[in-house]
Structure formats: C-alpha cells, structure tokens
Structure 1
C-alpha cells in the first residue's frame, strides 16, 4: 500500500515552519507561568480552533478532541477511536490516545477523562494550564479537578488568545483566499437567485458553488420577504419560502477556505430597485461599518468600538447591537477580541492589535426591513485594510 504524505492528502496543509512558530510561542507562555503542561479541547471546526491551531488537525462532528501540550516534549492527543487520525497527518505529536467515547453516551465521558488523568498522573505535574475553559466539557474538567486536588490549574486563555489572534503572513494569505471565495459568490449571486425558487434551493446552489471553489466549512443564513416586511436571517430549518418578483432578502456567508481560515460576508439583495426605507437603512449601515472600520487602530479597546457603533445607529433611529457587532476570525468563526455590548457578568478586555483579521457586521431589523452588511478587515499599524472586494451595495437581481 502506498504511503501518502500530508502534502498529498490535505488540500492546504499549514507549513512546518508555521507550526513550529506556534509551538514555540506556546512553550514560551508555559515558561512564563512555570507550567509543566497545558491542555485544550475542541469538538467542531467552526468553533474549535484551539485544536487545529496547535496540530493542523481539526476536531470534527461534535466529537471531543483534547490536546495535551507538555513543556518538554511533543504533544499527546486524546480522540475517539471512531475517528482515527492517519499517521501522515500527525506533526509534533508523540502519541494519540483513543477510546470509544461519544458525547451522547454519557458514561463514555469517564473513558475520555480517564486517558487524560492517566497522562497527568504519569507526569506528576505541579502546575497545569487551561486553554479555553468554555470549550472544555464538564465531564473532563470535573474528573480532572477531582483527581488532582494538589495540582494548581492556571487559566492562560487570555494570553493564548492574543497569540492566536495575531496572524502570520502565511495565515493572512489563507484568509485572503477565503475572502476571494466569498467575493466570487457575490459576483455569481444574480445568476443563482431566480423568482420561483425555494429558499432552500438557493442555499443549496450557493453551498455547491462554495464547495467547488474550495471552501471547507459552510455556514449559511438566508431569508427573503416582501417589501416593507422584515425577513430576518433564518437557518436551514426555516428555508421553505418561495421567492417572488419584487422580494428582497439577506444572505450571510460564513465559510472557511482551504486551510480552514474563516471570513464572513453578507449583503442584501433585491429584485429590481430597493424600496426607499430599505435603501436608507442600507446607507446608514454602510456608514456605520466604515465608522467602526476607521476605529480599528492598535491599542483601542474592542468594547469602545461597539459602544460607538450603538451610539451612531441609535441617533439615526436604528436597532442597536445587543450581542456581537464584530470580532476577530481565524480557525474560529468567532475569535477574540469580540465587539460585544457590556454585560453585568463580564466584558471583553482585549485591545485591537496589528495583525488581526476583524469582521464587522451592522445588522438592522424593524417592522419594515432587515439590513445586514458584513466584511473583513486586516489591522495594520496605520489602520484597517478591507479584505473583501465586493462593493458595499445592495445586489440587484
């Protein structure tokens, strides 16, 4: 049987040089906090980027994959035996520990945790780092904490997130390729959407094009409506409407390109010229996006940007963002920093830095329309460079 290499099987493997850069930065972080090791976990591609960032192997299909990163040797991975990793895909990995666990089989959480506990017990560490506690399942965390009351566990997520958020030249090359895939879809949209199509058929056509262009993961939100009605943005479950002449709609494309790096983009589309209220709202959304793009300067707190956005749109009578106005992206669809409205139980503390890939997405919804525009920006020392090339206009069908 022929032996295959990563370069032959993976459409866009990350270079060994880039992986060594990441491992070196992680080891420096462990050294800073005098940690014997650290671990993280993921269970999907679009919000499981810690795992892929360290290994170039994605966690997939909601099966947990744990990365154990020691300070003095190569990594160990913990993964379900239902999805083994080919040997040619493993770089910087000493061993992979397998067990037949599945998140819907509650008792198998003990199998997963047992492998991690055995690993730590053999190493007898004094200090261990957590990376992304929000991504680590309770079955694993609870068992590990109970097994090692003498170990000091240190949360190093904030600093790790900053390391991960600053994109290398190789990473930005992949981000720009993803943006080109998005732009190609917007150019093709007038040839896809036709009166009489069901919304789910439009989604299927767009997804097929994205796959043919080389995207890895495909998250699409789309809805249509008659003029003077809000359409919102629906998931696939609600895509059973037939599109008619005169309708308008919104399409949000959240896909990663070859290599697994995300961008996201959104536009309104309309059969014929948009009605006045829709155009007016769109124009304000474009202005709001540009306002916040101009604020993407190194050292600015992310929470300041969403506050200025909300003030701008509120003064013009449009809905404020109560959740997430923008955020960084990479292997994760949503990375830090997040431009999230202040909440009594916590807020974003990260600042904008040179090298971030930032998504900005004004979203208005009221009784007569829904407007959504979304583009990515690269933060430089002198401000933000727009990555997407599609014009900030409503697409006329």
Structure 2
C-alpha cells in the first residue's frame, strides 16, 4: 500500500466531476481532512493560506505560502499535475485566488475551514454562495477503495495491539491519567503518527461516554471503559473501545455487559449491502431496550471513519441511507448507569458483498484484570 494507492491521481478527476454534478463552480480546500483526502497533502493549518482550488470547468491549482512550497511539492499532491501558486508575504492570497477563479455563483468550502478563511473568501467573492465541500465529497469519501480498507485494517491491527497491553496498565490504586499516559505511549509505539484520544473511564466515570481522563484513583471491583484511537502515517484512523474490570465485576454490571455484547454482535451480523444505516442502529438498540436498558443507551450506534475519526455514514435512527460495499464505520453500542458504571464495545467494520468485515479482533468478552 503506497500513497499513490491511497491518494490516486484519478481522485482529483472524480472530485471535479462530482463538483460539476453538484452544481458547484469550485471547491476551496484548506488544510484538513478534505484537502488530504483529495490531494494527499497533510498541510499545516496556519494563518497563511494554503488552499487547493478545484474549479468544475478549469484546471485545479494549489495556493501555498512560498515558505511552504517545498513541503507541498514533496507531498503526494506533486503527482497530480497541479500548478503550485506560491504567494509572498506582501500578497493577498485570497484576492489572487478570486481573480484566477473569476465570477462564480457557488463555491464549496472545506468543512473544517477556519472562519477566518471563509470570511476572507466571502469578502473577495461577495456575490458567491458558500456551501460545504462535504456535500460534494461525502459520496466519494464514504466508498472506501481496497487501498483505503487496507489502511483502516492496518490502523485496526495497531490499536488492537494497544488493547492487548491495557490489562497490564490497569490496577487498583492507579489514576485514570496514569493509565492514559501509558496507553498514549503505546499508541505511538504501535505505529500511529498521532494520539487522537485516550478515554479511561473508571467506575461512575464510565457512565459518561466522552469522559476522557481524570485524576480519579481506580478502585478494586470497578469496570473501566477504555476508548482509544489515533491517526496512522497513512492519514487513516483507528478507533476501538473495550471494557475491563479491575477484579470481580459487580453483579448488575456483569448482567448488562452480556446484553451489550449480544447487541454489538447482532448489529455486526446485520451489516450487508442494501440494509439501511438506521436498521443497524435498531439491531443493537432493540436488544438493549428489550432487556430494560433502553434509556441507558444514549448515543448513536456508530459513525463512519477514514481520514477523519468521525465522518459519514452515521449509524443512527433517521438515517435511511442503504449500506454499500466499501462503507466503513464503527459499531459501538453502550449502556451507561449514571452514578454507578458503564460499558461500551466498539469495532470498526467494513460492509462487503457478503456482510461485515470486522477490523478489530481483540476479545469482546469482559476482560477481568
């Protein structure tokens, strides 16, 4: 798997075609996941403008500060046949981009474009409507190529290697922050380029899905939710949750953990082409509700993943979009008892012609340490 596989030259042509089909005159892609997906360039987010301009009916070009030109030319973007338009410190790069574009009725701005840049583009293109570039790119980004699936699989194997080390980090008397520090080091040691998050939620903190970490001391007999992920050098992300218990688990926790495990298995088993995103959510939610824990499952069942940790498609009630081969997303039901404890099990799966390909392989049984 090379950068040319992950960020093929053909992608830019597909983006231009999608831009025209959407009735958008040009995309303006500043540093962030949209730019990296289209060009492979992991540009620094600076106050100086870097922007890939993709007109629907003209040649694309990359606006870059002159001091960033070597980095841009050394990136995978150099293979795309782009013109690199270097601007100097006394130039107005927004005006340069606007003059080259000419009169346009609608532009798609990167979903993560800073307001500073969006408003500057609005100043120099006052008669131009701004829409989100994601409305153009989402259909392309959702359908992962074999190379993208391979990159996600590599990320899944790397985060699995971290989860296999977690039992050695957990013990009564340590703080969540101490455990999280060990996990962060392991995430980097297993090949990730960045640590995106290390949720270590012990005891009652486990009932808060996005708890993060604290200086709370882990006690004997407490469940601990560990949700971790990062970005690989490829640009593709990992994300996996397992729940552990330091010593013998409480009886009420053990009972609902088994319900949760069945729900997560059922949702994975329901994945196949043509099935709606919301039906995958229902496959997990119905089992949890039937067991009496419906009010304690307080978030969607999953989210897409790729060059972002959270992206389309979202596995949630109300999303009737049918799954297609190549869709990659999490399946992560949870049960959270406020004031007591909580649990979550999360795998990344890819929809294939025959069902779900789970990219995480560590045990989903409760691990008692």
TM-score (norm 2): 0.85
Instruction: After superposing the two structures, state which structure 1 stretch, 55-64 or 201-210, moved more.
Output: 55-64
Q: 1:221: Cα distance to partner?
A: 0.8
Contact persistence 1:302–1:350 (CA under 8 A): yes
Deviations 1:7-32 (A, max 9, x none): xxxxx861168421311211221343
User: Distance in 2 between the 1:245 and 1:99 partners?
Assistant: 61
Q: Where does residue 249 of structure 2 map in the other structure?
A: 274
Q: 2:199 aligns with which of 199, 208, 221?
A: 221
The 3-state SS of whatever aligns with 1:266 is strand
Q: Where does residue 14 of structure 1 map in the other structure?
A: 3
Contact persistence 2:105–2:127 (CA under 8 A): no
User: Distance in 2 between the 1:231 and 1:126 partners?
Assistant: 50
Q: 2:237 aligns with which of 248, 259, 262?
A: 262
Deviations 1:344-391 (A, max 9, x none): xxxx46432110111111121114320111101110122211111112
User: Distance in 2 between the 1:176 and 1:16 partners?
Assistant: 15
Q: 1:150: Cα distance to partner?
A: 4.2
Please, which runs of 5 or more residues in structure 2 have no aligned partner? none
Count of residues in Structure 1 that have an aligned counterpart in Structure 2: 361
Please, which runs of 5 or more residues in structure 1 have no aligned partner? 1-11, 43-47, 101-110, 343-347
Q: Where does residue 286 of structure 1 map in the other structure?
A: 261
Matched, 1:40 2:50: no
Q: 1:330: Cα distance to partner?
A: 0.3
TM-score (norm 1): 0.79
Residues 1:288 and 1:264: Cα distance change in structure 2 (over 3 Å)? same
Matched, 1:316 2:278: no
Q: 1:54: Cα distance to partner?
A: 1.5
Q: Where does residue 365 of structure 1 map in the other structure?
A: 336
The 3-state SS of whatever aligns with 1:19 is coil
Q: Where does residue 142 of structure 2 map in the other structure?
A: 165
Q: 1:232: Cα distance to partner?
A: 3.3
Query: What does residue range 89-108 of structure 1 map to in structure 2 within 5 Å?
Result: 89=75, 90-91=77-78, 92=80, 93-95=82-84, 97=86
User: Distance in 2 between the 1:99 and 1:301 partners?
Assistant: 50
Q: 1:314: Cα distance to partner?
A: 2.2
Contact persistence 2:63–2:97 (CA under 8 A): no
Q: 2:322 aligns with which of 331, 334, 351?
A: 351
User: Distance in 2 between the 1:166 and 1:153 partners?
Assistant: 25
Contact persistence 1:195–1:243 (CA under 8 A): yes
